[in-house]
């Protein structure tokens, strides 16, 4: 048996116990610290599967911290190339100024495309960005024995005094999280309660889950109705859904930029009319014909890259793909481009934002950790992501309008 890492005599004994099945991969942390446990898991896999981990074993994050709150059965890290795009001028309510965008991706040409978008947006006065809604949701489900019971519960939920009780129970679970609304959705004798919260600088899934559990306990005590599931999929978390596209989840953000016709001809080598036509026939007609919930060119590309760089939950790229990209001609021959992101779920505290490399990327953007005014850092991050998506959309639509897409990928993506 050989491994790429040297083991002490005591570590070798533990490895033998793992190989014999006496100690499981999960239980090794009962007898070893987090660093040693990760090392022993790597050694176990190397010996058992005849592989070597020369690269997975190299990482800089705090093993104790990461293994405690971010991952289980840790063996190491997978590195993703990190590029930079920008500067991009952002005129938001919370993100104001010039920003360099950290983008983690393995797709050649992506960073170059966003970089070009940043340049042309900045030269045209920057991206105007606004947050229209800020509410994270969780939706427990309740089942009743009859339609009469269902309607009685629905009526009770709609009472103002009931909301007051529910809000008091939910808000008591967190210093920062606040319940904003309760929306019941009925199907037969089932009621989904879509609970909406302000989670300040946290993305907030843990926060709203704990608060929602308190709500279900209150309902069980008051009504004698147990909760079937704390998440009944009306939230909707990490799945494409019309409810998130319509009502929003997390931050609902819109970014806009304006370009003159002459600027488009000189810089993008196409016309306003051509970009309008590509966007209409590709992003609207094509997406509609395909039954898509998102009407965009590649919004999830940019969302994924900046999420990975900044410690966001990568599964929430699903909601990022609900983006709607619009391009409208102006009377003077110019073009107004915008992206609407109805469900952008971001945070600057908790989760992956505390990992060292990801926190450095958040610091680059000036939004790491909690803000002095709770919630403003996460709002600023959502505006930055929306501006980045706009840059990617403008660049790609222009490339297709000019017939340059294949050439760019041949040069940069092969």
Spatial contact of 93 and 379, defined as CB atoms under 8 Å apart? yes
320 three-class SS: helix
Q: In this structure, what token pair is assigned to residue 101?
A: 């965008």
d(C-alpha 329, C-alpha 240), whole Å: 30
Spatial contact of 143 and 190, defined as CB atoms under 8 Å apart? yes
Residue of 5, 62, 107, 277 with catalytic role: 107
Residue of 171, 213, 273, 409 with catalytic role: 409
Strand (E) or helix (H) holding 141? strand 141-143
Cis peptide before 131 (omega within 30 of 0): no
Spatial contact of 362 and 348, defined as CB atoms under 8 Å apart? yes
DSSP state of 286: I
| Pairing state between β 141-143 and 190-198 | antiparallel
Known active-site residue 298: no
Residue of 313, 328, 360, 404 with catalytic role: 313
Known active-site residue 409: yes
d(C-alpha 103, C-alpha 197), whole Å: 29
Q: In this structure, what token pair is assigned to residue 138?
A: 């969780």
d(C-alpha 184, C-alpha 34), whole Å: 44
Residues labelled catalytic: 107, 313, 409
């Amino acid at each position: 048996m050989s491994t790429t890492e040297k083991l002490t005599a005591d570590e070798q004994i533990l490895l033998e116990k793992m190989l014999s099945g006496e100690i499981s991969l999960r239980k090794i942390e009962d007898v070893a610290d987090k660093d040693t446990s990760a090392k022993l898991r790597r050694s176990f896999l190397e010996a058992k599967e005849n592989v070597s981990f020369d690269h997975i074993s190299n990482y800089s994050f705090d093993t104790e911290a990461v293994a405690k709150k971010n991952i289980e059965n840790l063996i190491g890290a997978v590195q993703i190339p990190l590029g930079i795009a920008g500067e991009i001028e952002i005129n938001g309510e919370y993100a104001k100024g010039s920003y360099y965008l950290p983008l983690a991706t393995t797709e050649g040409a992506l960073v170059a495309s966003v970089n070009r978008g940043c340049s042309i947006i900045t030269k045209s006065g920057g991206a105007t960005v606004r947050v229209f809604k800020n509410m994270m949701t969780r939706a427990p489900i309740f089942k009743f024995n009859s339609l009469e019971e269902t309607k009685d519960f629905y009526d009770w939920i709609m009472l103002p005094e009931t909301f007051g009780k529910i809000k008091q129970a939910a808000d008591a679970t967190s210093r920062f999280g606040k319940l904003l609304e309760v929306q019941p959705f009925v199907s037969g004798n089932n009621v989904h309660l879509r609970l909406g919260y302000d989670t300040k600088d946290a993305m907030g899934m843990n926060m709203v889950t704990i608060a929602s559990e308190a709500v279900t306990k209150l309902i069980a005590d008051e009504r004698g109705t147990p909760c079937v599931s704390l998440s009944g999929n009306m939230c909707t978390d990490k799945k494409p859904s019309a409810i998130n596209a319509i009502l929003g989840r997390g931050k609902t953000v819109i970014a806009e930029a304006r370009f003159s016709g002459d600027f488009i001809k000189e810089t993008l080598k196409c016309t306003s009319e051509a970009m309008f036509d590509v966007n209409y026939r590709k992003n609207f007609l094509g997406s509609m014909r395909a039954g898509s919930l998102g009407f965009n060119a590649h919004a999830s590309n940019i969302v994924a890259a900046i999420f990975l760089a900044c410690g966001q939950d990568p599964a929430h790229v699903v909601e990022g793909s609900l983006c709607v990209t619009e391009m409208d001609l102006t009377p003077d021959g110019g073009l107004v481009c915008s992206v609407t992101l109805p469900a952008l779920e971001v945070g600057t505290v908790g989760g992956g934002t505390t990992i060292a490399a990801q926190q450095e990327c958040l610091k680059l953007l000036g939004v790491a950790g909690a803000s002095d005014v709770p919630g403003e850092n996460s709002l600023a991050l959502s505006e930055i992501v929306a501006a980045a998506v706009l840059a990617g959309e403008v660049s790609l639509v222009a490339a297709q309008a000019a017939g340059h897409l294949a050439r760019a990928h041949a040069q940069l993506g092969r």
